[in-house]
């Protein structure tokens, strides 16, 4: 939990600096690259978390991997390294993306369904979420058969679970609590 708070604080600071320097979109591009690279590489995650590897080596490796990044992004890497928080880099990048999308009035609605959304249904969900949040939203549909039916909608920190699996679990809890 405290790591998450720290990641949000670093992300806010970087966003404030990027907005001040009018480089928020360039930094967001860097952050998207960081999220994809860190989440896609177990070796990089292990390197960042390793207490054995010296901070200078971590910093050098990150600067080599992200050599085309903006100065603000390189400054974030330096700051996280010097504060011994470099393991938070992926999480900070993700929080930055979310904060920047909120600042622009955009967002991503993550919809998990048992089958793929049809274009008509996708449009209805987009309209409803845009009306509820007041933001321009794009949909990212994930198909997961384990929810049996219904959907799980997640926008930012809000989640609405209308899946059959969730309803069955709630029913199971009611039965076990009433015995």
The residue segments making up the domain with residue 129 are 107-178
pLDDT at 2 over 70: no
Residues 22 and 96 placed together within one structural domain of the fold: yes
Residue 6 sits in a domain whose CATH number is 1.10.520.20
Average pLDDT in the 124-141 region? 85
Asked if residue 10 and residue 96 are part of one domain, the reply reads: yes
Helix (H, G, I), strand (E, B) or coil at 158: strand
Q: Examine the domain organization and report whether 63 and 117 are in the same domain.
A: no
30, 94: one domain = yes
Query: Does the pLDDT at position 15 exceed 80?
Result: yes
Together in a domain, 32 and 79: yes
Q: What is the CATH number of the domain that holds 134?
A: 3.30.910
> Average pLDDT, stretch 50-77?
93
Helix, coil or strand: residue 7: helix
The structure's pTM equals 0.67
Same domain, 25 and 41: yes
Statement: residue 23 has pLDDT above 60: yes
Residue 75 shares a structural domain with residue 146: no
pLDDT, mean of residues 123-131: 87
Same domain, 26 and 73: yes
Q: Could you give the number of structural domains in the chain?
A: 2
Is pLDDT of 1 > 80?
Answer: no
| Together in a domain, 93 and 6 | yes
């Amino acid at each position: 939990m405290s790591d998450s708070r720290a990641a949000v604080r670093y992300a806010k600071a970087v966003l404030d600096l990027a907005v001040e320097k009018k480089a928020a979109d360039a930094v967001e591009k860097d952050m998207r690259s960081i999220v994809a690279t860190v989440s896609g590489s177990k070796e990089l995650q292990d390197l960042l978390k390793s207490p054995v590897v010296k901070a200078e080596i971590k910093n050098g490796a990150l600067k080599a991997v992200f050599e085309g990044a903006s100065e603000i992004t390189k400054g974030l890497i330096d700051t996280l390294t010097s504060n011994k928080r470099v393991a938070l880099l992926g999480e900070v990048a993700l929080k930055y993306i979310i904060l920047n999308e909120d600042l622009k009035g955009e967002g991503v609605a993550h919809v998990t369904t048992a089958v793929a959304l049809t274009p008509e249904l996708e449009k209805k969900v987009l309209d409803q979420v845009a009306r509820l949040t007041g933001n321009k939203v794009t949909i990212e549909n994930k198909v997961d058969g384990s929810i049996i039916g219904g959907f799980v909608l997640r926008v930012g920190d809000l989640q609405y679970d209308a899946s059959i699996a969730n309803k069955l679990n709630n029913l199971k809890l009611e039965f076990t609590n009433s015995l």
